[in-house]
Amino acid sequence: MLRSAIQHSLRRATSASQQSITCRNLSSSSTPHRKVAVLGAAGGIGQPLSLLMKLNPLVSQLSLYDIAGTPGVAADVSHINTRSEVMGYVGEDQLAQALEGCDIVIIPAGVPRKPGMTRDDLFNINAGIVKGLCTAIAKYCPNALVNMISNPVNSTVPIASEVFKKAGTYDEKRLFGVTTLDVVRAKTFYAGKANVNVAEVNVPVVGGHAGITILPLFSQATPQANNLSDEVLTALTKRTQDGGTEVVEAKAGKGSATLSMAYAGALFADACMKGLNGVPDVVECSFVQSSITELPFFVSKVRLGKNGVEEVLGLGALSDYEKQGLEALLPELKSSIEKGIKFANQS
Ligand SMILES: NC(=O)C1=CN([C@@H]2O[C@H](COP(=O)(O)OP(=O)(O)OC[C@H]3O[C@@H](n4cnc5c(N)ncnc54)[C@H](O)[C@@H]3O)[C@@H](O)[C@H]2O)C=CC1
Ligand SMILES: O=C([O-])CC(=O)C(=O)O
């Protein structure tokens, strides 16, 4: 009962019930082999994300890596009777095995915020963690799509790009900052105010992934609600921008969003796999190398395909309020990107 409820909601949540059902009905030999690694798999995000990836029929091999605790998580998840084979790897000695042959590497490794901290306050610890993991990715699975969750995403993605450039493996089509949680939040908050069915809502969220750099484009939300005042749109924007802080404060020192992030991370990895598998018109927002603004990285809608990013889509028409938000976010996002690039090149 519970299993079918979880599987049912996962299928609905990925908005791909048709494709998932199709995959279930195919023999595993006709569904492509896909190895997915979760780095930081024993953590607050890593554990539920590992569970959700185990439920995804597109995954054939699930590789769970952490510096501690993964044997238990892997043993636990491996008992679930779904397609993928689960392996747990612990400690740097086993990182190579965890990564070899990966199609997708999801990185939620690193420390989370406590109340009063900004995401940038995590830089000193997480920059080094991400740099180390990306160095290993360049060596052991240079062709994998990298889904970066570790904060500050506005800096960790540029760090990853520099590490890959130095190793000679950088492919801008294969590096993604995961910002899906901003979209998930914007959809939820918008549906509540617009009084529309949340399952039908879409809201692009662009910019970056911290405070004012998160810019939801409610003027492009579908279905479009005509009943929202400027005050409500301002409040919705602010709540989306502060969604992470709302959770950090509610958890009162016990970390940041883990369950909603695992859901969002599973959605994004599923979209990447669909793209790799040739499913057409898979579009998600992500922080990628970009030329749609003057900044080298930017969140916008991205079409996913067999090589990762197939097309970085433009911003579309913005309201005056959104135009102001865009102008306001550029300096902060620029400085976070530069901070990451500088770190990667000096150490
Ligand atoms: N992109 C986004 O939207 C979001 C990002 N985050 C970020 O995700 C990160 C993880 O958050 P939580 O899971 O809550 O933290 P957590 O502390 O519960 O788990 C982190 C895990 O990373 C592991 N780890 C540390 N160093 C490692 C290394 N070198 N290699 C492999 N694993 C390593 C730890 O052992 C731990 O199990 C944080 O940086 C947080 O800010 C959180 C929510 C949303
Ligand atoms: O707020 C945080 O520190 C974690 C995060 O990125 C989010 O929940 O959006």
Distance 103 CA to ligand 2 centre (A): 26
180 lines ligand 1 (CB under 6 A): no
Instruction: Find residue 38's DSSP bridge partners.
Output: 64, 106
Supply the pLDDT for residue 250: 98
DSSP 129-166: HHHHHHHHHHHH-TTSEEEE-SS-HHHHHHHHHHHHHH
State the average pLDDT over residues 46-51. 99
Residue written as token pair 């005050």? 231
How crowded is residue 331: how many other Cβ atoms within 10 Å of its Cβ?
12
Instruction: Round to whole Å and give the CA distance between 164 and 169.
Output: 5
Q: Which of 154, 181, 251, 268 to mutate to test the pocket of ligand 2 (most atoms within 8 A of CB)?
A: 181
Average pLDDT over residues 65-80: 98
Sequence letter at residue 15: S
* Residue 16 CA: distances (Å) to CA of 13, 57, 226: 8, 12, 28
| pLDDT of 4 over the 60 cut | no
Question: Are 218 and 237 contacting, i.e. CB atoms less than 8 angstroms apart?
Answer: yes
* Ligand 1 contact, 155 CB (< 6 A): no
Confidence category of residue 28, pLDDT binned at 50, 70, 90:
very low
What's the pLDDT band for 272 if we cut at 50, 70, 90? very high
Average model confidence (pLDDT) across the chain: 93
Angle, helices 259-276 vs 180-194, to 10°: value is 110
pLDDT in tens, 274-306: 999 999 999 999 999 999 999 999 999 999 999
For the Cβ of 120 lying below 6 angstroms from any atom of ligand 1, the answer is: no
Supply 162's token pair: 């520099």
Q: What is the pLDDT of residue 26?
A: 42
Q: Are 177 and 299 in contact (CB under 8 A)?
A: yes
Residue nearest to atom 7 of ligand 2 (CA): 244
Cβ–ligand 1 contact at 109 (below 6 Å): yes
Q: In the predicted model, what is the mean pLDDT of residues 159-163?
A: 98
Residue 335 predicted with pLDDT over 90: yes
Ligand nearest to the CA of 265: 1
d(CA 283, CA 303): 4
Residue 320 pLDDT level (bands cut at 50, 70, 90): very high
pTM, entire model: 0.94
* Closest ligand 1 atom to Cα of 39: 31
- The amino acid present at 72, given as its one-letter code, is G
Nearest CA to ligand 1 atom 8: 150
Mean pLDDT of 222-251: 96
Kindly state the tokens that stand for 290. Answer: 């970009």
**Distance in Å, CA 302 to ligand 2 centroid:** 21
How far apart are alpha carbons 35 and 80 in whole angstroms? 17
Strand 145-148 vs strand 214-216: parallel, antiparallel, or unpaired? unpaired
Minimal-distance CA residue to ligand 2 atom 1:
244
Residue 41 annotated as binding? yes
Q: Would you say 126 is a known binding-site residue?
A: yes
Instruction: Please tell me the predicted confidence (pLDDT) of residue 30.
Output: 76
Q: What pLDDT is attached to residue 347?
A: 65
CA of 150 to the centre of ligand 1 (A): 6
Residue 41 has pLDDT above 60, yes or no: yes
Whether the CA torsion 310, 85, 8, 109 is positive or negative: it is negative
Query: Considering only CA atoms, which residue is closest to atom 6 of ligand 2?
Result: 244
The answer to which of 20-34, 85-99, 101-115 has the lowest mean pLDDT is 20-34
Q: Which two tokens stand for residue 188?
A: 């939820």
Alpha carbon distances (Å) from 60 to 16, 34, 132:
18, 5, 26
pLDDT tier at 204 (50, 70, 90 boundaries)? very high
What is the model's pLDDT at position 255? 97
pLDDT confidence of residue 10: 47
Please choose from 151, 259, 286, 287 the residue to mutate so as to test ligand 1's pocket, defined by most ligand atoms within 8 A of CB.
151
DSSP state of 202: B
Q: How confident is the model at residue 227 (pLDDT cuts 50, 70, 90)?
A: confident
Residue 9 pLDDT more than 70?
A: no
Query: 160 pLDDT exceeds 80?
Result: yes
pLDDT for 21 beyond 80: no
Under the banding of pLDDT at 50, 70 and 90, the label for residue 246 is very high
Distance CA 143, CA 78 (A): 26
Render pLDDT for 130-152 as a digit per residue (tens, 0 to 9).
Answer: 999 999 999 999 999 999 999 99
Q: Whose CA is nearest to atom 29 of ligand 1?
A: 129
